[in-house]
Amino acid sequence: MEKSLPQRSRAHQPRKRFGQNFLRDPAIIARLEDAIAPSDADHLVEIGPGLGALTDVLLQSGCRLDAIELDRDLVTPLLAAFSIYPGFHLHSADALKFDYAALADEGEQLRIVGNLPYNISTPLIFRLLENAAFVTDMHFMLQLEVVQRLTAEPGSKHWGRLGIMAQYRCQTELLFEVPPESFDPPPKVQSAIVRLTPHTESPWPDCDEAALETVVRAAFAQRRKTLRNNLKALLSDEDLQRLAIDPSCRAETLTLDQFVALASLL
């Protein structure tokens, strides 16, 4: 049976500055619920609950749910709708500045979900990756292009800093695409659902993440330039050749393993 969804209040118009596009399609919400599969044992964190369409189905699982909402005009209706659930806690805060570690009790793992505003999705994902150690998984609605970057493979036009650093921390999966008409108002871009599952044990336990970030950022500083030009302040041609990497190739041709090897030289 399809669940009834909260309707946009006449008093609340979606705000461009908050990147608000409210999910309203019951079929998409049901698919997202199936993908997340919440249970009463979970501690979920929802970023940007909006009108609460996803919040509603998550809470019906009996989970503990902390919701983070920036728009103060949505706080009162969210509290009115969901305060009946003992596990519901609403934080009127900026997701980019929020202290996620404070939500995780000692030894506890969080599950993070959200329909992320397109205008802050990339910096927010980098912020959340910093907290991957106490996160079981993350399910996000994002612009399709961002999901393609997160799940890209070497040699692809989408392969770059975001995908490399995400895949260094997590397994990444594009689950399904979401059309504009699933939202109110409809965005001008296609969306998709991505699942990020942090590695329980790092495939690169000896890698210095700060060095990796430095190498990757420099390598992709100007995508059309060669590694020789982009990395000349960090590594020499001889350094690259020691790892069987051609200094005249471009960054998008390198694998994550090769970037880790370059980081080890620093």
pLDDT tens per residue across span 144-168: 999 999 999 999 999 999 999 999 9
55-65 confidence digits (pLDDT tens): 999 999 999 99
Mean pLDDT of 160-179: 97
Identify the structural domains of the chain with CATH numbers, from first to last. 18-198 (3.40.50.150), 209-265 (1.10.8.100)
- Angle at which helices 256-265 and 161-169 pack, to 10 degrees? 90
- Name which of 180, 200, 196 is nearest 188 in CA terms: 180
**pLDDT value, residue 3:** 40
Beta strands across the sheet bearing 64-69: 88-92, 64-69, 43-47, 110-115, 135-143, 191-198, 170-178
**pLDDT value, residue 12:** 53
Q: Rounded to whole angstroms, how far apart are CA atoms 71 and 69?
A: 6
13 confidence band (pLDDT: 50, 70, 90): low
Q: Rounded to whole angstroms, how far apart are CA atoms 204 and 208?
A: 9
Amino acid at 80: A
**pLDDT value, residue 1:** 34
CA angle 166, 172, 176 (to 5 degrees): 130
**pLDDT value, residue 2:** 37
Predicted TM-score (pTM) of this structure: 0.90
Strand 191-198 relative to strand 135-143: parallel, antiparallel, unpaired? antiparallel
